[in-house]
Structure 1
Amino acid sequence: MDIQTLQANDEAPIDLLLLADPSKEQVEKYLEQGQCYIAKEAENITAVYVLQPISPGIIELKNIAVGEAEQGKGIGKQLISHAIKTARFQGYHTIEVGTGNSSIGQLARYQKCGFRITEVDKDFFMKHYDEKIVENGIVCRDMIRLAMEL
């Protein structure tokens, strides 16, 4: 798998990005403000993530998405590792990530990769998303924020 920066003239893989965030408006917003990285397998884009600077020294990992056919193969963990190395190389001292309270697998994965829960943004998804999100039979209401010192 080859992970590379999406070039300015290339179209972002919106369908993949929408797997991790159902709001096209939100996706377009952080694509404008961040750096998009794509994972390719035999010239096909199979996964994606975005790094968005949020303040001096702090960058946020947004929208890790792996194509449905490629899920369960450790690609998400590889993307997280790549994002951490990229943030460190770019001189950031902290990398943050947020996920929904209903995203059980993602919460476990981030913590296994070394992230620690720092706060809960109550009702984040109720305030910022028009449609109700349900994952794992749980209504997604709160944003769980995690961080790692680099």
Structure 2
Amino acid sequence: MGVADSGAVSGGVGLPLTAARFARATDRLVECAVFYREILGLAPLFEFADHAEYSGFVFGLPDASAQLELVRLDGAVPERAPDAEDALVLYLREDAGALRQRLADHGVAEVVPDNPWWPALGAFAVLDPDGWMVIMVPPAAADAPLLGNVVCEEFLGDRGEIVFSFRLAEDSEQVLASYLDRGRVWVARTGSGAVVGHIQAAPESDAAVWEIVNTAVAEAFRGSGLGRRLIDEVAAAATVAGVTRLEVATATADIGNLRFYQRCGFRMTRVVADVFTEAAGYPPGLEVDGVPLRDQVWFSREL
């Protein structure tokens, strides 16, 4: 069995990445670093000085998986000024009241983006010391770019058509074949009909308990709330069916999933050693974030 919140969108070629960085030249390096670190509040990852005449600061967006690098080459001046559509867009998890007050306290005035899409979302913007626009999108609208046209529905067709999504969370074809036809499946589809996530749940020997057997979300939709939405879809269907508890298992090595399930109201119940073995069809040497894939942890959530 497997659980994942990552993968590739159906139909795409796929580009395996560990991180992405946007690097931008500036001749106001220190001013910009103070703006992004002290005023805006981005997390500093590291800084460097006189590296082959380059100096810079790197910030997490919001962590090391996506980065903003401000860099300066000694004696060089950026060739062009930003235009009205050059912007860094930040999707906020919390109300922006404290941020707006901090910006005002530092004399940073808000500006209105030319593109009416952003004001319509309730977003606001400021300019950094170089004149680059930074647009802040409030939590109520933060999912709109990804989830606005995504619907979740029960899947009643041939599961072979969506097995690619199952494989995002399952590395053993042997294990996948053993449970692919179990229980019920829900999928998340975009407006074009592409499947960008799914969840499978099946009753255990105690009919009052459902196991979430396999769930995955395409890479482009990670962090958008779609994984939680699929969990909620199963919880609602389970409640209607008279189920009183959900259970799910994931790898102890997958720190992201351990956090995700606890945020969704699950609690750890037990650990099973040596589940992801070659005997079970798993390739040797599998790792998650540098941690060997070996053991399995179970969670439960009362409904």
> Is the structural similarity TM-score above 0.5?
yes
TM-score norm. by structure 1 comes to: 0.91
Residue 291 of structure 2 is aligned to residue 142 of structure 1: no
Sort the Cα spacing of 1:36 and 1:28 in 2 relative to 1 into closer, same or farther, 3 A. Answer: farther
- Give distance in 1, aligned partners of 2:175 and 2:189: 24
Which residues of structure 1 form unaligned runs of 5+? Answer: none
Alignment CA distance shift 1:114-1:60 (3 Å): same
Residue 218 of structure 2 is aligned to residue 67 of structure 1: yes
Task: Quote the residue 1:46 is aligned against.
Answer: 196
Separation (CA, whole Å) in 1 of partners of 2:190 and 2:208:
32
**Unmatched segments (≥5 aa) in structure 2:** 1-149
Higher strand share: 1
More helix by share: 1
* Higher-Rg member (1/2): 2
Q: Which residue among 155, 165, 177 is the counterpart of 1:6?
A: 155
The offset of 1:36, in angstroms, is 1.4
What whole-Å deviation, never above 9, does each CA across 1:49-85 have from its counterpart, x for those lacking one?
1001112211101221111222221111111121211
**Given the superposition, is the C-alpha separation of residues 130 and 75 from structure 1 closer, same or farther in structure 2, using an over 3 Å criterion?**
same
1:34 to 159, 168, 183: 183
**Which deviates further from its counterpart, 125-134 or 56-65?**
125-134
Is the alpha carbon distance of 1:25 and 1:4 closer, same or farther for their aligned partners in structure 2, counting shifts above 3 Å?
farther
Give the whole-Å Cα distance in 1 for the aligned partners of 2:202 and 2:159: 18
Secondary structure at the counterpart of residue 294 of structure 2: coil
- Extract structure 1 runs of 4+ deviating beyond 6 A: none
- Partner of 2:223, secondary structure, is coil
Q: Does 1:130 align with 2:282?
A: yes
User: Identity of paired residues, percent?
Assistant: 29
Partner of 2:88: none
Q: Is residue 6–residue 12 contact of structure 1 (8 Å, CA) maintained in 2?
A: no
The residue aligned with 2:262 is: 111
Give me the TM-score of the superposition, normalised by structure 2. Answer: 0.47
**Alpha carbon RMSD of aligned pairs, Å?**
1.6
Residues 89-104 of structure 1: pairs in structure 2 closer than 5 A: 89-104=240-255
**1:86-143 per-position Cα deviation (integer Å, ceiling 9, x unaligned):** 2112111111000001111111010111100000011111252331321010011111
